[in-house]
Amino acid sequence: MIKKEIQLKVPATVANLVCGFDILGMAIHEPYDEMELRLLSDPIIKIKHLDDFGLPEKAEKNVVGVVLRKIMEHTQMKQGFEVIIKKNIKPGSGLGSSAASAAGAAFGANVLLGKPFSYPQLVYFAIYGEELASGTRHADNIAPCIYGGITLVKSSRPLDIIPLTSPDLLVTAVHPQVEIKTSDARQILKNKIPLKDAVTQWGNIAGLITGILKNDVDLIGRSLNDVVIEPTRSILIPKFSEIKEKSILEGALGGGISGSGPSIFMLSKKKETAEKIAKIMCEEYRKIGVRQYVYVSKINQQGITIL
């Protein structure tokens, strides 16, 4: 039976995973958005936010509207959608806020339409939302949100997504309440990298993916190094190096900037370590009077779920 309405839990995602700039992403359990979608008899899109982030509710300005419009055009449907969003993933956090809305819209519409689309097709529709949010059609947050777990975006054009089976590691993520514009985080990056650094980065990314696929957590830890993006981008994030150093001393496998920041994430084998790291993160930001949200959860292997 085709459902007329649906409620979704849509997870935050960590893009890049240190050395996998623009190609790797991972879903986590906390924070998550709640979305409710229902079919309307007219071909219109209604969006309502139950949060107070001040996001636009006009369909053409909200990533949800842009994604649903693409699906409506593609299917030439005579009906429309109403969407109610309770967002907990703060926009601009580096935790895939716009991706969650875009992925949730594509996933929810697919269920309401009787599942005509495959996961790669849902990613294809959802990246139009990312284009609205950041000007580029990237899938590194969208893919793990839809597939769950860790995903590799082998290529964006043509879209080639490889879901990777990963060990059940713990993720500690902190979102310090400082603002970094995605455009600033992009502009600061160098356009050229020395060959020596490129070779180091290739080694790390190959090691990281091998470690993920072989369940080799020590190899994952040895490979979580970024010599290309982190050295410049981390300058924008207060307390980045202190948090990284102290987390690794406490037993973290490694970690770095989540997406374009300011959130930072760390991976650990044990829950106790992940929780100690959460404390370290809070303490570091308290010292400088920066408010912060900290989340501890396992890698989210399911991605979006129907409530």
65: left (phi over 0), alpha (psi -120 to 50) or beta: alpha
Give the nearest distance from C-beta 270 to ligand ADP in angstroms. Answer: 28
Give the nearest distance from C-beta 48 to ligand ADP in angstroms. Answer: 11
Residue with Cβ nearer ligand ADP (92 or 303): 92
Give the nearest distance from C-beta 93 to ligand ADP in angstroms. Answer: 4
Chain residues binding ligand ADP by CB under 6 A are: 55, 62-64, 91-99, 101, 133-134, 182, 259
Question: What is the C-alpha to C-alpha distance for residues 192 and 232, in angstroms, rounded to an integer?
Answer: 13
Both tokens of 213, joined, read 């696929």
Give the nearest distance from C-beta 208 to ligand ADP in angstroms. Answer: 21
User: Would you please indicate which residues are annotated as catalytic (active-site) residues?
Assistant: 130, 182
Pairing of strands 150-155, 24-40: antiparallel
Residue with Cβ nearer ligand ADP (62 or 172): 62
Residue with Cβ nearer ligand ADP (255 or 259): 259
Give the nearest distance from C-beta 180 to ligand ADP in angstroms. Answer: 9
Residue with Cβ nearer ligand ADP (147 or 253): 147
Cβ-proximal residue to ligand ADP, closest one:
98
DSSP string covering 216-268, please? Answer: -HHHHHHH---SSSHHHHGGGSTTHHHHHHHHHHTT--EEEE-TTSS-EEEEE
* Non-local CB neighbours of 273 within 8 Å, separated by 6+ positions: 170, 250, 251, 252
- Classify residue 8 by its DSSP letter: E
Q: Which long-range contacts (CB under 8 A, 24 or more apart) does 44-48 make?
A: 44/80, 45/69, 45/72, 45/80, 45/81, 45/82, 45/83, 46/80, 46/81, 46/82, 46/83, 47/82, 47/83, 47/85, 48/82, 48/83, 48/84, 48/85
Residue with Cβ nearer ligand ADP (116 or 135): 135
